[in-house]
Amino acid sequence: MKICLVNPPALFGRTMNLNVENIRLTPHMGLMYIASTLESAGHNVKILDMPAEGLNEEGALKEVEDFKSDIVGVSSTTVSYRLARNFIKNVKSKLGIPVFIGGYQPTILPEYVIKDSGADYAVVGEGEQTVVELTESIEKGRKPENIRGACYMEGDSIRFAGRRKLCENLDEIQFPAWHLVKNCYGKLGSLLSISKPEEFANIISTRGCPYSCAFCAAPKIYNHTYRTRSVDNVIKEIEWHVENGRKYIYIQDDNFSVSPDRVEEFCKKVKHLDIEWYCLMRADSAPRLYKKISQAGCKIVYFGIESGSQRVLDFYNKKTTPEINKAAIQKANESNLITIGSFIVGAPVGGVEDEKLSLKLALESRVDIIEVNILTLFPGTKLWEDYNKIKPLPLEKETSIHEVENINTQERNKLIFNGFYHRPKHAITGIAKILKHHRRLGIENIKHAPEVINYITNRKRVCEDYPKGSEW
């Protein structure tokens, strides 16, 4: 069968971290994993990544029709759900072909999504095997009543056989179908988008996270599990990318450093490959790792710092401290890694004084780049569930903290952004460090310095242009 998998664009509401034009666009790993599994089952697959390819709804519908699709699969997060729903209803009304919806939103809210979206089926949880079985069921004209992970309507009743057991051996899953995506990623100006699109790849080496941060839905999505691929399997995928001309690898794991021994094994085996790579780590990772990953080709480490206030960290259930966060950044800096620190503003337990502590931590730790996000409540997170008990929250979209609390998130945001970036010395030293340690922006390629300057100035400008409280 011909199956078209679609990633719709997102309506980012007013959340600061998403309402910017320099968000990193990376290939949609979920759709590529689904595609490779479907191809292995003998199906013909097309991927449409609407935001990356610059496709509007009309253009995407034409692509679906021109492909002569038998089935359409649509991926949906909370922030893309409204546009996904609209696209599905247009596919149904104009093309009349079966549609399934998968991803974050139907996994967290399967009953709501199957009733509201207009899709024929909702895929709940990891979809590789479910989609293959669902496609076979559609092809043979059978109801998917016994397919785990498939939810559908029968009259006015919801039919759902229950969640599928998570795959225990991730090495058994096919590598993502890179041949189905176009070289159109990395066009938008963030630090990780400096490399040429054809030289960049993202990979996922683990699924899930053993922690339970109050603002994150990973515990619910992965049922509080954490699974890893073998290091050899990950290296094999990276070697394939190198053979195909890719030099920059973004390890997209929620937390790459959960197992220090596994990270060390990875470092030993990746050293011989001519690549630069980037990853996300918790600040309470084993300190010995920073030098090892730097020597193994890692250039950038992203830390979820969240706050410089202990009471805010406790509210988020981060299980860490400002001292640990500061020490981790300093250790990474000493290892010649470019450090990015992510902060969240708007915690109802804190105030301006807590945001000042975040700025103080950022300045004293000498983190190279900061990202400041507005606290946002997503379905499936503990914070969303807590607030939803007080007053029902919308299911079709995310809820920013200022919608439920009297908090001036704009001023808190500007306090950290302006305090950090309005420093000429920081701009000069930051650019110098990036030029020195990033291959694409090496000293011999000084002409690319404007790209880094653009990154920093864009982050400042977005903060300054952020909507005022009366505009919410």
pLDDT tens per residue across span 352-373? 999 999 999 999 999 998 999 9
Q: What is the mean pLDDT of residues 312-324?
A: 98
Question: 3-state class of 47 per DSSP?
Answer: strand
Structural tokens at position 126: 């990891």
Our CA angle for 194, 196, 200, nearest 5°, is 90
Residue 462 has pLDDT above 50, yes or no: no
151 vs 192, residue with greater confidence = 151
pLDDT band at 170 (very low <50, low <70, confident <90, very high): very high
pLDDT at 182 over 90: no
Q: Mean pLDDT across the stretch 221-243? A: 96
In DSSP notation, 402-466 reads GGTS---HHHHHHHHHHHHHS-HHHHHHHHHHHHHH-GGG-GGGGGGHHHHHHHHHHHHHHHHTS
pTM assigned to the model: 0.90
Architecture in CATH of 190-471: Alpha-Beta Barrel (3.20)
Please give the torsion angle defined by the CA atoms of residues 307, 310, 311 and 313, in that order, rounded to the nearest 10 degrees: 50
pLDDT (tens digit, 9 = 90+) per residue, 261-286? 999 999 999 999 989 999 999 999 99
Tell me what pLDDT residue 450 has: 55
**What pLDDT does 15 receive?**
33
For 302, the enclosing helix (H) or strand (E) is: strand 298-306
Instruction: Give mean pLDDT, residues 425-438.
Output: 69
- Determine the pLDDT at residue 438: 60
pLDDT at position 191: 47
CATH topology of domain 2-160: Rossmann fold (3.40.50)
Distances (CA, A) of 83 to 117, 322, 356: 10, 39, 37
Supply angle C-alpha 75, 77, 81, rounded to 5. 85
- Shortest CA distance to 368 belongs to which of 421, 308, 305? 421
Grade residue 24 by pLDDT with cuts at 50, 70 and 90: very low
Would you give the DSSP letter of residue 48?
E
pLDDT for 19? 35
Where in the sequence of the chain do the CATH 3.40.50.280 domains occur?
Answer: 2-160
Residues 47-71 have a mean pLDDT of 94
If DSSP codes are grouped into helix, strand and coil, which group holds residue 146? coil
Among 80-94, 194-208, 381-395, whose mean pLDDT is lowest? 194-208
- First and final C-alpha spacing in the chain: 46
Residue 86 CB partners (closer than 8 Å, separation 6+): 57
Report the pLDDT averaged over residues 28-53: 96
Encoded amino acid at 380, one letter: G
Nearest to 436 by CA among 293, 332, 321, 338: 338
Per-residue confidence (pLDDT) for residue 263, from 0 to 100: 98
Nearest to 463 by CA among 393, 385, 410: 410
Residue range(s) in the chain whose domain bears CATH number 3.20.20.70: 190-471
Which pLDDT value is given to residue 183? 73
Residue 130, SS3 per DSSP: helix
Q: What pLDDT score does 471 carry?
A: 28
Question: Across residues 199-221, what is the average pLDDT?
Answer: 94
Q: Which residue has the higher pLDDT, 118 or 182?
A: 118
